[in-house]
Structure 1
Amino acid sequence: MYAIVEIAGQQFKVSKDLKVYVHRLANEEGSKVSFDKVLLVDDKGNVTLGAPAIEGASVEAKVLQHLKGDKVIIFKKKRRKGYKKRNGHRQYLTQIVIEGITVGGAKKAAAPKKEKVVAEAPATEAAPKAAPKAKKAAPKAKKEDTKE
């Protein structure tokens, strides 16, 4: 069983006992956290999709630790101009472990489609309107050859 859940603005494919690094959460280390924006759940081939999220579904996790990610170096250079710029960044992360996936809401059954009933116009005995007659073009006058 796995689920696709949105955590801190990013989507993750999670399953039970999986460790995931997410953007820093405000929860304390060792505390439990629940994410209820579950977008998809797959239970042994039985897939449930949300629109956009599944109502009643949630993913429970435990915060293991807060840490910083690897350093990323940003280096900019323009050749023959003497321009060099070096910058670095370390992302604040939280490591969580997924403890369980619950699907509270039952799968929504497809609603039966209602047939559209079209009201027919009452039949009238009046004769249909005659189509307007097309105008005939006047015959072209023939040019007379006048040779003198």
Structure 2
Amino acid sequence: MYAVIKTGGKQYRVAEGDVIRVETLEANAGETITFDQVLMVGEGESIKVGKPYVDGSSVTAEVTAEGRGDKIRVIKFKRRQGYKRTIGHRQNYTELKITGIAG
């Protein structure tokens, strides 16, 4: 069984036992989170698609860790002007382990 959930402005296809990294959530390690914004639930040939969400379905996940991603270098450059700027960025994330899909 799998589901498509929406969190942090993005959509994720998840199955039970998957470990995913999502945008930072207000939760500590070890806590359980329930996602009610389920866009699609599927199992084999049977698929339920919501309008926009599937009624009565939810996905539960356990927070395993919080952290920051790898550094990304952002470079601004204009040729022949002597202009060059470099900055770095590290995105925060919350790591989740999917424990159940209901619906």
What is the aligned-residue RMSD (CA, Å)?
Answer: 0.6
In the alignment, which residue of structure 1 is the partner of 2:15? Answer: 15
Q: Partner amino acid for 2:57?
A: A
Matches within 5 A, 1:1-148: 1-103=1-103
1:145: which partner in 2? none
Summarize deviations over 1:78-127 as a string: whole Å, max 9, x none.
11110001111100000000001000xxxxxxxxxxxxxxxxxxxxxxxx
Which one-letter code corresponds to 2:73 in the other structure?
A: I
Q: Secondary structure at the match of 2:69?
A: strand
TM-score by length of 1: 0.68
CA positional deviation for 1:73: 0.5
- For these two proteins, the number of residue pairs brought into alignment is 103
Question: What are structure 2's unaligned runs of at least 5 residues?
Answer: none
Relative contact order higher in (CA < 8 Å, ≥ 6 apart) = 2
* Greater C-alpha Rg: 1
After superposing on structure 2, the runs of 4+ consecutive aligned residues of structure 1 that deviate more than 4 Å are none
Query: How many Å separate the matches in 2 of 1:62 and 1:100?
Result: 10
* Amino-acid identity (%): 38
Instruction: Report the alpha carbon displacement of residue 72 of structure 1 after superposing the two structures with TM.
Output: 0.6
